[in-house]
Amino acid sequence: MSKKLTTSVAIFILLVLIDQAIKYGFVFLNFGFESDCISLVLAYNYGVAFSMFEFLSEYLKFIQLALIACILIYLYFNKEVFLKYYIPISILMAGGLSNILDRFTYGAVVDYVYWHCGFDFAIFNFADVIIDFAIAIILYMQYKQYKEDKKRA
């Protein structure tokens, strides 16, 4: 358990630092890039995905912290879940908590990747990408487990 926990904490810290460094660059160092398909431009998201619930912007950071606390409590009482999924959980928590940190630091989530090739897509950031990546890993692990269970039955 301690090796997995140490690995989990290391992944978490590394990803939060990477995400926050990139966001710092956009906020304070004027990072940016324009092209025909993708632009890197600073934007603030006061809501959640696709700016939904923007009207709750003052409360979202606390709502999201409460959800993270619930997840941590669940994992504390279900250690086998953490032990099985510790890598994607670390990635997921890093992305989520980094975006919550933005809400406390900047008043909104810092987004900067704007896809506009053929169609306009929501603007997003590295934390959003790693959250999606973590969910994809969990889904893959679940599918793999399902196939193994089906083969045994």
Integer Cα distance of 35 and 122 in angstroms: 16
Between 152 and 19, residue with greater pLDDT: 19
Q: From the CB of residue 33, how many other CB atoms can be counted at a distance below 10 Å?
A: 10
Radius of gyration of the chain (CA): 17
Domain ranges of the chain: 2-46+53-145
The per-residue pLDDT for range 21-73, each reduced to its tens digit, is 999 999 999 999 999 889 999 999 998 877 777 878 888 999 999 999 999 99
Integer Cα distance of 82 and 73 in angstroms: 11
Candidates 111, 120, 132, 149; catalytic one: 111
Do the Cβ atoms of 54 and 47 come closer than 8 Å? Answer: yes
Candidates 19, 128, 132, 149; catalytic one: 128
What 3-state class would DSSP assign to 37? coil
Is 111 noted as a catalytic residue in this protein? yes
Q: pTM here?
A: 0.91
The per-residue pLDDT for range 83-111, each reduced to its tens digit, is 999 999 999 999 999 999 999 999 999 99
